Structure 1
Amino acid sequence: MKKRFKKLLKVILITFIFVLFVQIFIIQSFIVMSSRMQSSLFEGDFLILEKLSYGARMPITILSIPFLHKKIPFTNKKSFLDILNFSYFRFPGVSKIKKNDLIVFNFPKENDLPIDKKSNFIKRCIAVSGDTLEIKNKNVIINGEKKDDILDIEFKCRVITDGDTNFLKLIKNKYKLKNINLIAANMGIYDVFLSKKNMKKLKEEKPVKYVRVLKQMINQPNFEEIFPKSYFYRWNKDYFGKIIVPKKNQNVKLNLRTLAFYKRIIKVYENKNLTIKNDSIFINNKFSDNYTFEKNYYFVMDDSRDRANDSRYWGFLPEDHIIGKASFIWFSYDNFNGKIRWKRILKKI
């Protein structure tokens, strides 16, 4: 009886270590919890996140309960002790991060948490280190070339109908869309989030008279929400940049105007003591009119561009926050209709 128990315990222990190894270094599952990546990813998609492409990141928080992220289930207690953390290290990968990759990362704007215990997000890599990015009239331009044409991205649209009340049924049943805002009931005007494909199809429907993408104008700056949140830069989500994505060993000039872009990088991501005295910038108590980056950074965006929480709002993504690359959907469940999305299972992304 004791021998059987020891064998069973050994099998359980080996299995536990093997599964833990696979999750840390090879693959793990990730659940899409929002509609910000629609129409590429749906809320309720279960993804396989693979780590070999970019190289597996070694755990940073060592004293942590395996398979738990931030909290112990059904409690408000942390699943880790933040008293012993390792420095960032990533094993060599088989490929580099590329434009349009769907990457899962720890949300960099969260404070007072170890890197690997910050919330997990998924977004599309739009620009890599060293790229020049600009957004004009909602069009993303990288290094002077328009890059959005290959993606079926989603925008907020104004839809004008002939007033037919069946329009809502059409939108919900045929197009499977939610978050429909009624603007004028008597005139049949709605605001709907539409992908490029759905926009084209909807224009052909009988009750629809007109569809247009809602846009902010170039003279409508949004200082409070849009990165770098400075009055020096009169940008909004549809007119943004030009901006250069920081690259390791790249040197940039520092002044009160450019510091808006790099302040968080210097203080938080690269852990330097940054102070400003009499309009002069000091790093680690030394006057600095330039800075050389120690890490690579990336610019990420949501595919649903008008209900986003992406780099346009919070800035650059540091390389040490990246977990891995989304590979395929292994399961998908529609919580709204209570149905399995069979056509999305095993879909490559």
Structure 2
Amino acid sequence: MNWKFWQKNKNAEPKKKKSKTREWTDAIIFAVVAATIIRVFFIEAYTIPSGSMEKSLLVGDFLFVSKVNYGARIPMTPVAFPFSHHTLPFTATTKAYWDGVQWKYRRLPGLQDIKRNDVVVFNFPEGDTVALDAQDDNYYRMVARSSWQEVNTTHPITSRPVDKRENFIKRCIAISGDTISMKNGIANVNGKNEPLKNTGMMPYRIQFTNTEIQTKPLEEIGFVTNDMQQESADTYLANASFEMITELKKLGIVKSATMLAAPEAQEPSSVFPYDKNRKWNIDNFGPIVVPKKGWTVQLDSNTMPLYYRSIRTYEGNKVEKKGNDWYINDKIATSYTFKMNYYWMMGDNRHNSADSRIWGFVPEDHIVGKALFIWMSFDSNGSWFSKIRWSRIFKGIN
């Protein structure tokens, strides 16, 4: 036995040097593992594909999303192809994961809770689809065509795993326990109006003082003149923020600028929860209490349209109605206590956003992370170096 094991054995054979192929293989494996750990537990890059968050986030913005702020979610579908979401690269339908292994929802401790007005990335709740023909492949379209109760009681639900559904980004307007409503396009949270400030877009009818308008001053303020719709010789419809309208009025070239909100609905609800007893639309709805972990709701004809989907689909209970009574997991129930926190998400571009007004609450197990800052931004309408929006690089998101 060698008692001086710390000393180099002169008689030992020298270690065989790794081949170049082996060195490269080891380096690639290490890089993939390290990058995967960073992507899953710390920070991940995303891109903005639509205009639903304008003017806060623009199409072509590339941003970093923190998994640390709210606590990293332990992968619920752990067996997956590296750096892919739900389909393999260069394919349209080939799954990039194996759902034979599914873990329960768990989340590491975070630096903070989700706050109102945080910009949040989450898995799309509408990822649950009804197992019907191609025309009726969507839960919410089915509800709009018939009724929430008919769809929920007669059609099976199929879906991707939660963490493999599409990633969406919206602003959190109301957190769990809040009461949210909207009147004439202005959100109200817990009895206080929350108009869009320094961000967000709404449609306006703008009447100019002259039939000939100069586009350059408008574009300098932020208007996309190509998207403005001419209604009459001197009147246009345009998306704008409150601040843009304020600057426009300072130019002295407008007679009036009126925000256009949908009038109060006279027909059954065209938004969540698609209840025929509620006359709601995208600009007028509520009040709705956002479920909070530990909150108990009484189950009746008024509350069930709002919370049925959360109780059954998101929290995994068997829910049935027999006569006038509701049964949860085969036991008669007059109330239900929620197991998770939920959130109400809306886009800043209010009339160009499919959000909680369409598909309801976002459960906490769908939360991916907090949007931190923009690291690159491309304007597809620009040319050469003007394609890069230099002013947006490393811009914080708020």
For the aligned pair, the TM-score class normalised by the smaller chain equals: over 0.9
The one-letter code matched in structure 1 to 2:122 is F
Task: Give the 3-state SS of the residue equivalent to 1:64 in structure 2.
Answer: coil
> How far apart are residue 183 of structure 1 and its match?
4.2
Q: Does 1:283 align with 2:328?
A: yes
Query: Which ranges of structure 2 fall in alignment gaps of 5 or more residues?
Result: 1-16, 129-158
Which of residues 74, 77, 100 in structure 1 aligns to 2:117? 100
Question: What is the aligned partner in structure 2 of residue 230 from structure 1?
Answer: 275
Query: Matched residues, percent identical?
Result: 37
Task: Give the 3-state SS of the residue equivalent to 1:121 in structure 2.
Answer: strand
Q: Distance in 1 between matches of 2:265 and 2:306?
A: 21
Question: What is the aligned partner in structure 2 of residue 42 from structure 1?
Answer: 58
Question: What is the aligned partner in structure 2 of residue 85 from structure 1?
Answer: 102
Between 1:75-84 and 1:310-319, the stretch displaced more is: 75-84
Question: What is the aligned partner in structure 1 of residue 46 from structure 2?
Answer: 30
Task: Give the 3-state SS of the residue equivalent to 1:267 in structure 2.
Answer: helix
Per-residue Cα deviation, 1:162-197 (whole angstroms, up to 9, x for no partner):
453444565456635166242434x23221110111
Q: Distance in 1 between matches of 2:277 and 2:109?
A: 40
Query: Which ranges of structure 1 fall in alignment gaps of 5 or more residues?
Result: none
The answer to whether the 8 A contact 1:179-1:193 is kept is no
Which of residues 51, 62, 69 in structure 1 aligns to 2:78? 62
Q: Distance in 2 between matches of 1:191 and 1:305?
A: 15
Which of residues 346, 365, 370 in structure 2 aligns to 1:301? 346
- Pick the structure with more helix per residue: 2
Which of residues 246, 249, 252 in structure 2 aligns to 1:200? 246
Q: Does 1:157 align with 2:173?
A: no
221 and 264 in structure 1: CA distance in 2 versus 1, 3 angstrom threshold: same
Task: Give the 3-state SS of the residue equivalent to 1:5 in structure 2.
Answer: helix
Which of residues 120, 126, 130 in structure 2 aligns to 1:109? 126
| TM-score scaled by length of structure 1 | 0.93
The answer to whether the 8 A contact 1:180-1:190 is kept is no
Question: What is the aligned partner in structure 1 of residue 392 from structure 2?
Answer: 344
The answer to whether the 8 A contact 2:196-2:348 is kept is no
Q: Distance in 1 between matches of 2:174 and 2:362?
A: 10
> How far apart are residue 6 of structure 1 and its match?
2.2
Counterparts of 1:214-225 in structure 2 under 5 Å? Answer: 214-221=260-267, 223-224=269-270
Which of residues 8, 30, 51 in structure 1 aligns to 2:67? 51
The answer to whether the 8 A contact 2:221-2:247 is kept is no
Task: Give the 3-state SS of the residue equivalent to 1:203 in structure 2.
Answer: helix
> How far apart are residue 99 of structure 1 and its match?
0.6
Q: Which runs of 4+ in 1 moved over 6 A?
A: none
> How far apart are residue 85 of structure 1 and its match?
1.2
Per-residue Cα deviation, 1:1-27 (whole angstroms, up to 9, x for no partner):
843332222222111111110000000
- Provide the aligned length of Structure 1 versus Structure 2: 347
Q: Distance in 2 between matches of 1:135 and 1:176?
A: 26
| TM-score scaled by length of structure 2 | 0.82
Q: Distance in 1 between matches of 2:226 and 2:103?
A: 43
Per-residue Cα deviation, 1:45-101 (whole angstroms, up to 9, x for no partner):
100101111000011112211111122232221212222211111001011111111
71 and 214 in structure 1: CA distance in 2 versus 1, 3 angstrom threshold: same
113 and 287 in structure 1: CA distance in 2 versus 1, 3 angstrom threshold: same
